């Protein structure tokens, strides 16, 4: 008696770290991102690893400042990658679900150098939402290392998903959920920002499959749930009807970047 098993394999990938400035929704800001191509990409690259596989990743630092490559629960931050240097890591993940990789330096993580790794859910359609908030006027000081923490007077005006705001997010194939009635859709969500967000789904409830911080909500069916700072959440949506439905932060200060509706909003487009 034997069964056909898929043997574990290793995903080989390369990410570059670089910096850029951009004006989103009328607000100028500095950014740093991890991206798969050696030209600047405004969104951090999402990585999917099949269940039981490992990841062999090369990080090339194109930025002028030192960074590291940190994954909470998987890889500590004591691995400086100096400007122009390259580092290699071989990583394995003990369970399926969403993880967050990031540069732990303030000028990294506070400027969005933070992305999603999703492990497992191999045979389903997968989407990625990297929530981020910024106060435009702080980013210059952070980028130059003049401040290394968010002050108590924080008033963010830049709210984004995958460093994109609504309606631009609709052209992002990882952030705009497109599927059919009856599909099993997996959405990996992390909060790379500096405050809690409360995501509300129109039209559907989703099942919480995985939550690294608010783990008491795992297994719950919710239409609204918190995504606190540094959270990593995986949800499953099986749409029962067609239609176009928004998903947004229900702390409604965050849905105006670039005008209403804007900011931290995306959409579900479900066909029959």
Partner 1 sequence: MRHLTVYLFILLGFTLNGYAQKKHFYLTAKMNSMFILDDGSTSAFWGYGLYNPSNPMNGAARIPGPTIEVNHGDSVHIHFFNNSPESHTIHLHGLDVNQVNDGVPATSFMIPQHDSVTYKFLANHTGTFLYHCHVNTSLHLAMGMYGMVTVTDTNNIMYENGPRFTKSYNLLASDGMRSWWDNPISPGPFHLYEADYFMINGQAGSQLTEGQAIKVNPDDTVMIRLANIGYSLTKFIFPEGSNPIAYMSDGRKLPTLLESDTILIYPGERYSIILRPIEDIEDFITISYHHMFNYTDIGMNTYPISIDFFNKISENIDRPSLIVYPNPASSQITVNTPLPANITIVDVFGRIVLQTFLIEGANIVNIQNIANGSYLIYHDSGIAAKLEICK
Q: Which of 11, 60, 196, 238: binder of partner 1 (CB under 8 A)? A: 196
Are 163 and 153 contacting, i.e. CB atoms less than 8 angstroms apart?
Answer: no
Q: Distance between CA 170 and CA 266 in Å, rounded?
A: 7
Find the binding residues for partner 1 in span 232-251 (CB under 8 A).
Answer: 241-246, 250-251
Q: How far is the CB of 134 from partner 1 (least distance, A)?
A: 11
Q: Which is nearer to partner 1, 115 or 226 (CB)?
A: 226
Q: Which of 52, 140, 172, 261: binder of partner 1 (CB under 8 A)? A: 261
Q: Which of 55, 211, 255, 264: binder of partner 1 (CB under 8 A)? A: 255
Q: Which of 90, 149, 154, 181: binder of partner 1 (CB under 8 A)? A: 154
- The site that binds partner 1 (CB under 8 A) totals a number of residues, namely 42
Task: Catalogue the E-assigned strands of the chain.
Answer: 10-24, 27-35, 47-49, 54-61, 70-71, 86-92, 97-102, 114-119, 125-134, 158-161, 177-180, 185-191, 197-201, 206-211, 221-222, 224-227, 232-237, 243-249, 265-271
Q: Which is nearer to partner 1, 17 or 255 (CB)?
A: 255
Q: Which is nearer to partner 1, 38 or 221 (CB)?
A: 221
Q: Which is nearer to partner 1, 125 or 205 (CB)?
A: 205
Q: Which of 40, 60, 238, 253: binder of partner 1 (CB under 8 A)? A: 253
Q: Is residue 231 a contact residue for partner 1 (CB under 8 A)? A: no
Phi, psi of 17 (to 5 degrees): -105, 130
Find the binding residues for partner 1 in span 158-187 (CB under 8 A).
Answer: 159
Q: Distance between CA 88 and CA 84 in Å, rounded?
A: 14
Q: Distance between CA 34 and CA 231 in Å, rounded?
A: 19
Are 269 and 203 contacting, i.e. CB atoms less than 8 angstroms apart?
Answer: no
Q: How far is the CB of 69 from partner 1 (least distance, A)?
A: 27
Residue 141 — left, alpha, or beta (φ > 0 → left; ψ -120 to 50 → alpha)?
alpha
Return residues touching partner 1 (CB under 8 A).
150, 152, 154-157, 159, 194-198, 200, 202-205, 216, 219-226, 241-246, 250-257, 260-261
């Amino acid at each position: 008696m034997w069964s056909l098993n898929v043997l574990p394999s290793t995903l080989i990938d390369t990410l570059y770290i670089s910096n850029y400035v951009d004006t989103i929704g009328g607000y100028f800001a500095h950014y740093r991102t991890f991206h798969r191509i050696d030209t600047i990409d405004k969104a951090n690259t999402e990585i999917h690893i099949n269940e039981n596989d490992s990841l062999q990743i090369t990080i090339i630092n194109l930025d002028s400042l030192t960074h590291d490559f940190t994954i909470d629960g998987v890889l500590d931050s004591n691995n400086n990658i100096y400007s122009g240097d390259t580092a290699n890591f071989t990583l394995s993940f003990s369970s399926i679900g969403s993880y967050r990789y990031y540069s732990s330096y303030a000028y990294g993580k506070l400027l969005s150098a933070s992305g999603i790794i999703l492990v497992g859910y191999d045979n389903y359609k997968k989407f990625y939402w990297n929530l981020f908030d910024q106060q435009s006027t702080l980013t210059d000081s952070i980028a130059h290392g003049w401040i290394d923490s968010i002050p108590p007077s924080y008033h963010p005006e830049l709210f984004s998903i995958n460093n994109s705001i609504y309606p631009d997010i609709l052209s992002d194939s990882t952030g705009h959920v497109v599927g059919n009635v009856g599909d099993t859709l997996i959405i990996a969500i992390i909060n790379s920002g500096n405050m809690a967000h409360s995501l509300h789904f129109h039209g559907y409830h989703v099942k919480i499959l995985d939550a690294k911080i608010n783990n008491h909500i795992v297994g719950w069916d919710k239409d609204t749930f918190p995504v606190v700072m540094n959270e990593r959440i995986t949800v499953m949506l099986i749409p029962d009807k067609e239609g176009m439905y928004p998903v947004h932060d229900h702390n409604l200060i965050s849905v105006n970047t670039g005008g209403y509706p804007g900011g931290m909003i995306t959409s579900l487009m479900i066909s029959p």
